[in-house]
């Protein structure tokens, strides 16, 4: 039986990476094997592209195409084979991030994203997407306590407000695929919610 493909989304600092290992544990408790991976990245080539994407200045269209190039490699060489072998795949970001960051944040029209998405994915979509939602100012406070900012993290609050807005619009348009997690809650409350979601997935 094909495994399930679950993606985690949210603005930088919203806390999705904090919860990914706990989610993996919940899936293992169900008796399924799980691959934990991330985008951009997840393959040797994808991690090299990530390094460029997070650190090198480039045109917004170049950024968009490199995100999808990394995704193509990841999907075809890692995600699809894992799902076909019955494993679940837990992925820290996927195409919704391109719609939110390159679409909402950078202002690239959605029709360009649709072309790349179709090219790379055909009609493949996550089975479930967990959107960790947090107000941009609170996310900034969390981020600055953690690490030095990369190219995305260094963007102004208005950029993250647009990214968050784009995520929330996508979640509203696809309510059966998305679950919105209020990241302003305590870690324990978030865990309780995640456990329930995985138990019903």
In degrees and rounded to multiples of 5, residue 129 shows phi and psi of: -125, 125
Q: Hey, what are 188's tokens? A: 């324990």
- Please report, as residue ranges, which positions from 61 to 80 form the binding site for ligand TMP (by CB under 6 A): 67
Closest among 181, 188, 151 to 167, alpha carbons compared:
181
Binds ligand TMP (CB under 6 A): choice among 19, 38, 74, 179: 38
**Residue 73 Cβ, how far from ligand TMP at the closest point, in Å?**
13
Identity of the residue, 32 or 65, whose beta carbon is nearer to ligand TMP in the bound complex = 65
Identity of the residue, 32 or 124, whose beta carbon is nearer to ligand TMP in the bound complex = 124
Q: Are 90 and 37 in contact (CB under 8 A)?
A: yes
- Please report, as residue ranges, which positions from 126 to 155 form the binding site for ligand TMP (by CB under 6 A): 152
170 binds ligand TMP (CB under 6 A): no
Q: Are 90 and 8 in contact (CB under 8 A)?
A: yes
Binds ligand TMP (CB under 6 A): choice among 5, 101, 160, 167: 101
Identity of the residue, 38 or 162, whose beta carbon is nearer to ligand TMP in the bound complex = 38
Identity of the residue, 31 or 148, whose beta carbon is nearer to ligand TMP in the bound complex = 148
* Residues 60, 108: Cα–Cα separation, whole Å: 8
Q: Hey, what are 183's tokens? A: 């990241």
């Amino acid at each position: 039986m094909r495994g399930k493909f679950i993606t985690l989304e949210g603005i930088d600092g919203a806390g999705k990476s904090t919860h990914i290992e706990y989610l993996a544990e919940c899936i293992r408790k169900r008796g399924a094997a799980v691959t934990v991976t991330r985008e951009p990245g997840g393959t040797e080539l994808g991690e090299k592209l990530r390094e460029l994407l997070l650190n090198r200045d480039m045109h917004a269209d170049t950024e968009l195409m490199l995100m999808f190039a990394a995704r193509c490699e990841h999907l075809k060489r890692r995600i699809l084979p894992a799902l076909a072998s019955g494993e679940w795949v837990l992925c820290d970001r996927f195409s919704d991030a391109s719609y939110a960051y390159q679409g909402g944040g950078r202002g690239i029209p959605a029709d360009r994203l649709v072309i790349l998405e179709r090219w790379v994915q055909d009609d493949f979509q996550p089975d479930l997407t967990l959107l960790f939602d947090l107000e941009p100012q609170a996310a900034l406070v969390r981020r600055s306590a953690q690490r030095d900012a990369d190219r995305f993290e260094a963007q102004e609050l208005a950029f993250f407000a647009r990214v968050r807005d784009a995520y929330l619009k996508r979640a509203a348009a696809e309510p059966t695929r998305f679950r919105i997690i209020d990241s302003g809650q305590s870690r324990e409350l978030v865990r309780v919610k995640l456990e329930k979601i995985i138990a019903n997935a």
